[in-house]
Amino acid sequence: MKVFIIGAGQVGSTVVEALHADHDITVLDMEPARLSALAYKYDVATFEGDGTSRRDLSQAGIANADLVIACTSRDEANLVAGMFGRREAPHAKTIVRTSELEYVELWREGQLDVDFVVCPELETAHAISRAIGVPAARQTDVFAEGQVQIVEFDVEEGAPKSVVGVPLRDADLPRDSKVMAIIHGDELTLPGGDSVIEPGSRIVVIGSPRAAKEWGALLAPGGASVQDVVIFGAGRVGTAIARVLSGQGISIRMIEASRERARAAAEQFPKVRVYNAVGFDPDFLERERIGLAQAAIFAMRDDTKNLYGASLAKVHGVPFTIAVAHEAVSIAAFDQAGIDVAVNPRAVTAEEIVRFAHDPRTQQVAMLEGNRYEVLDVTTRETSRYIGTKFRDMPVHGALIGAIVRNGSAIFPHGDDVLQAGDRVIVFTEASNAPWVIEAL
Amino acid sequence: MSPTTGMRVLEPPHVGPPRRLGVNVRGALALVGTLTKWLAAAPLLPLAFALGYGESPWPFLGAIAVAGVLGLALERLGRDELRTVGFREGFLVVSATWVVAAGIGTVPYLLSGNPELDRPVDALFESMSGFTTTGASIVTDLPALDRSLAMWRQLTQWLGGMGIIVLALAVLPRLRIGGRQLMESELPGPEIEDLGTRIRQTARRLWGLYVVLTALLAGTLAVLGWTGLDDRMTPYRALAHAFTTMPTGGFSTEPDSIAAFQPVTQWVFVCFMILAGVNFALLYRVFVRRRVRSGLRDEELRLYLGFIVLGSALLVLQLLEQELSGSDAPLRNGVFQAVSILTTTGYATVDFTGWTTLALLTIVGLMFVGGSAGSTGGSIKIVRHLLVGRILRRELQTTVHPDLVAPIRLGGTPVDERTLRAVIAFVLLYVGLFVVGAGIIAIDTALQGPSLEPITVMAVAATTLGNVGPAFGHAGPFASFHEFSDLSTLVLVGLMWLGRLEIIPVVLLFTRQYWRL
């Protein structure tokens, strides 16, 4: 596939990194320095030019592209580039990055003539919303338009006996969920009915978002769902988070140092309590009892502020801190400081783009344990030899089907369910087995 | 999990259940215990009177026991949670302290066996009216009270006048919570003026001045009695009335209030009521630091005196015209009533129920004036009238000159816009509560009696909210509030409580915003 990328910034280069091995890539940017850095690192064609100039785009060969990705940091430039891409390469898919939620809504209403609109702020908000939904999770991701969630948990001493220490077939597992893997030390097993979850191991669970939450409540003793958060920063990221979380009935407080932005946020969200204050003022934190909040989200523009704010929140007793890391390198620093979750908006965006860009039939959606295991999202062909097979009769080949999406809704199959042609199958497999799994389905 | 890991969970946290309550109730109650346990010392004075006059000491011993045990128990209850007591808890501490104090005040009444005070609702009314320095009474037969019990009644007003929390701040070792906020809630007015480097020093100086002025008045009255100028003024009555004049309280040991005394005594009361309505910080500056000239230039003082002259003139003119005062002294009665109502004392030299409607309206109007900020007077307070007037003037000014920048000044210093907003909010809340209170009283008296004139209903609500004391008719200066139903009585107790703490700390307790995290 020929991919044409406009913008070689953080999002663009992350996309290049993910796609360069399997696809022919052309990158267009106005900064020669960025282009040469990319060209030295990856085998890609580069072109210095303006993404809003139709002549530059056609000279760079946009007409041959199968996929056009406009991901500069400027919304207007992306929209213009996407529009020209449509004209020059009518059969190519177009992806446009935007920071404006309004454009995302326009696209959803069918008013924008592009195939996919991705918004870093919104993706960040969704990622944070997932993390908050299952606070005990080590990692979590969603597939199939949010209907299927995969979560990785640490199983600790004191986890309930209904799940831990008994064979899975006798365990009282949350409905619509399945244990996909049990990891003990270096060893990973694909569990059967006889397998037992032991304290100290790690498990990967697939299920509906509701089941994922139930798992979280089950495995975090005394833990509870997050219903009360404080968001530091009412910029674009902060307001996107507030928008997503307030839709889930979570009680939200926002803290913003700029009077204008605080005012705008307060006007936009009538139910959110917005404070015009510096989030580092100990008197303020004490007076407003920020330490009693269940979770604090740091969405300020400056990573150092997010780092310091989150550390301060920990000092005040906030149990769950989530910080936005605008620079990828900040994640390690956040880890050092004991921050619980770090989200890099550009990387999250690149992931979304990569997910869309992949082969429509097979989507390698996630990797586990240092790339030894993969989660695949495969649509079954009519010629697959497993069509019509009951799940209990499926061969065990180091792969496990966790969920299928049929007619748009997710099913978490049991032994008597039957695989049908056209099912989207979420498969957990060893990486070495992946080609075999894709071929067999 | 994902190839590019945009989101990384670094350490899965343990999140506890959501907290709903943002207020440390136990810690606040512990502080209430600390602030109220010293009230156990208060009944010692009436106890001494009881022993001296051979009356029953048990009501006061009971009060000492209740105050001590309750204070220590509350203190112990939340001893371990004092660490997080702060700004938020301050409102609860102040409001609850006053309820607890009023509760302790009921003990002597309940134990006294006096048939008019043996019901808890009635005793609570009397006690709240005492501590809030309102001076409205449920008792019809004052001479029937034990002298020690009557002295307790006077004493509650004296304690409540300068403030039980301010006194606690003056006598207690340092508290965990910043005393300023507690003191601001109790000392009336938009802000307090420091008289020392520490809040404790300020509290001590205020109370010291208060004690000195009270002693001065008691001495003056005693001299009047001793020299035969007023033979009804015994030393007991001198002390009893000094206890209720300086806090602008208004309780009297006599059924006919100040009418029991000679004109010269009444003029002495007028002088000291006026003094009690002045900002005590200003009095301290003038009398102790001898900065007389700057004190007399004080804008609030000038407006206060202006209000007194205006109110007195209105009443005197009407009394002259109507010859209705029932006495030959329209000047004395007019001035006395104007000062007594305006400073929210509530003494009377004459039953003004029979005065003309215009005079009664003047009295109701004076109930909304109040003393100066930082005085012992209640109601809206002079400084707020001053600021509201200036805000209105500025609104008119900026209507003509929309781009005009016009900071509002008080004594030459610009006043923060936030303070101005708070002043407007206070006045609106005050008027709103008056309307609501009057409405409930109107409905309840229509259903359960006694039947009241409309102006009396208004006066009853205004007099309790403003901590004045008497209204008209059934609730007139020489009558009593005993005819009201229990519901009305409790509503009036609530209005007194709200009025004394300047509304906000109490109203806050009834909002969700206050309690939620």
Q: Specify which of A30-34, A355-359, B193-197 reaches the highest per-range mean pLDDT.
A: A30-34
Min CA distance, B23 vs chain A (Å)?
9
- Residue of B444, B441, B471, B474 whose CA lies nearest to B459: B471
Please give the residue that has the higher pLDDT: either B353 or A35: A35
Model confidence band, residue B10 (pLDDT cutoffs 50, 70, 90): low
Task: Please state whether beta strands A67-70 and A93-97 pair in parallel, antiparallel, or not at all (unpaired).
Answer: parallel
B8–A139 CB contact, under 8 Å? yes
Q: Does the pLDDT of residue A373 top 80, yes or no? A: no
Compute the CA torsion angle A310, A312, A313, A319 (nearest 10 deg): 90
pLDDT one-digit tens code per residue, A340-352: 889 999 888 888 8
- pLDDT mean over A273-280: 91
Q: Is B11 on the interface with A (CB under 8 A)?
A: yes
pLDDT averaged over every residue in chain B: 87
Q: Among A71-80, A288-297, B314-323, whose mean pLDDT is lowest?
A: B314-323
Give the A window 333-362 contacts with B, CB below 8 Å. 334-335, 338-351, 354
A224–B22 CB contact, under 8 Å? no
Tell me, what's the pLDDT at A272? 92
- Residue B53 has which token pair? 């006059």
Rounded Cα distance between B345 and B133, Å, is 8
Q: What is the ipTM of this complex?
A: 0.71
Task: Measure CB to CB from residue B517 to each of A153, A228, A347 and give the nearest one.
Answer: A228
Min CA distance, B9 vs chain A (Å)?
4
Model confidence band, residue A221 (pLDDT cutoffs 50, 70, 90): low
Give the A window 222-261 contacts with B, CB below 8 Å. 222-224, 226-228, 251
A345–B6 CB contact, under 8 Å? yes
Q: Is A220 on the interface with B (CB under 8 A)?
A: yes
Q: Among B136-150, B160-174, B390-404, whose mean pLDDT is lowest?
A: B160-174
Write the DSSP assignment of A48-82 as a string of letters: ES-TT-HHHHHHTTGGG-SEEEE--S-HHHHHHHH
Cβ contacts of A378-383, under 8 Å, gap ≥ 24: A378/A424, A378/A425, A378/A427, A378/A437, A378/A438, A378/A441, A379/A422, A379/A423, A379/A424, A379/A425, A380/A419, A380/A420, A380/A421, A380/A422, A380/A423, A380/A424, A380/A425, A380/A441, A381/A421, A381/A441, A382/A421, A382/A422
Rounded Cα distance between A395 and B254, Å, is 103
Q: How many CB pairs under 8 A join A and B?
A: 138
A138–B7 CB contact, under 8 Å? no
Q: Is A302 on the interface with B (CB under 8 A)?
A: no
Tell me, what's the pLDDT at A397? 67
From the centroid of its chain, how far is CA A88?
32
- pLDDT mean over B146-173: 86
B13–A135 CB contact, under 8 Å? yes
Tell me, what's the pLDDT at B2? 36
Q: Nearest chain B Cα to A222, which residue?
A: B16
Q: Is A286 on the interface with B (CB under 8 A)?
A: yes
Task: Give the whole-number percent of chain B exceeding pLDDT 90.
Answer: 46
Tell me, what's the pLDDT at B313? 93
Helix, strand, coil percent values for chain A (each to nearest 5): 35, 30, 35
Residues of B in contact with A152 (CB under 8 A): 1
Q: Is A291 helix (H, G, I), strand (E, B) or coil?
A: helix
Model confidence band, residue B44 (pLDDT cutoffs 50, 70, 90): very high
Tell me, what's the pLDDT at B1? 36
Tell me, what's the pLDDT at A211? 84
Rounded Cα distance between A212 and A143, Å, is 13
How many helices (H) and strands (E) chain B has is answered by 22, 3
Report which DSSP code applies to B173.
P
- Residue of B427, B357, B446 whose CA lies nearest to B386: B427
Q: Which residues pair with A26 in a beta bridge?
A: A4, A45
Report which DSSP code applies to B286.
I
Quick check: B379 and B431 in contact, CB under 8 A? no
A375–B19 CB contact, under 8 Å? no
Report which DSSP code applies to A324.
E
Q: Does the pLDDT of residue A143 top 80, yes or no? A: no
Model confidence band, residue A11 (pLDDT cutoffs 50, 70, 90): confident
Model confidence band, residue B4 (pLDDT cutoffs 50, 70, 90): very low
Quick check: B478 and B256 in contact, CB under 8 A? yes
- pLDDT mean over B497-501: 92
Q: Sign of the CA dihedral B351, B353, B359, B361?
A: positive
Rounded Cα distance between B408 and B396, Å, is 13
Min CA distance, A157 vs chain B (Å)?
14
Tell me, what's the pLDDT at B328? 64
Min CA distance, B179 vs chain A (Å)?
16
Write the DSSP assignment of A96-107 as a string of letters: EE-S-HHHHHHH
Quick check: B26 and B77 in contact, CB under 8 A? yes
Please give the residue that has the higher pLDDT: either A368 or B478: B478
Tell me, what's the pLDDT at A378? 81
B88-to-B17, B92, B181, B307 alpha-carbon distances in Å: 22, 8, 10, 37
Tell me, what's the pLDDT at B7? 66
Rounded Cα distance between B247 and B2, Å, is 73
Rounded Cα distance between A98 and B339, Å, is 71
- Residue A51 has which token pair? 């993404």
Please give the residue that has the higher pLDDT: either B445 or A433: B445
Q: Is B517 on the interface with A (CB under 8 A)?
A: yes
How many helices (H) and strands (E) chain A has is answered by 14, 22
Q: Does the pLDDT of residue B285 top 50, yes or no? A: yes
Q: Is B511 on the interface with A (CB under 8 A)?
A: no
> Which domains can be identified in chain A, with CATH numbers?
2-118 (3.40.50.720), 142-219 (3.30.70.1450), 228-349 (3.40.50.720), 360-440 (3.30.70.1450)
Rounded Cα distance between B199 and B206, Å, is 11
Task: Measure CB to CB from residue A319 to each of B5, B10, B13 and give the nearest one.
Answer: B13
Query: Using alpha carbons only, how large is chain A's radius of gyration in Å?
Result: 23
Residues of B in contact with A367 (CB under 8 A): 1-3
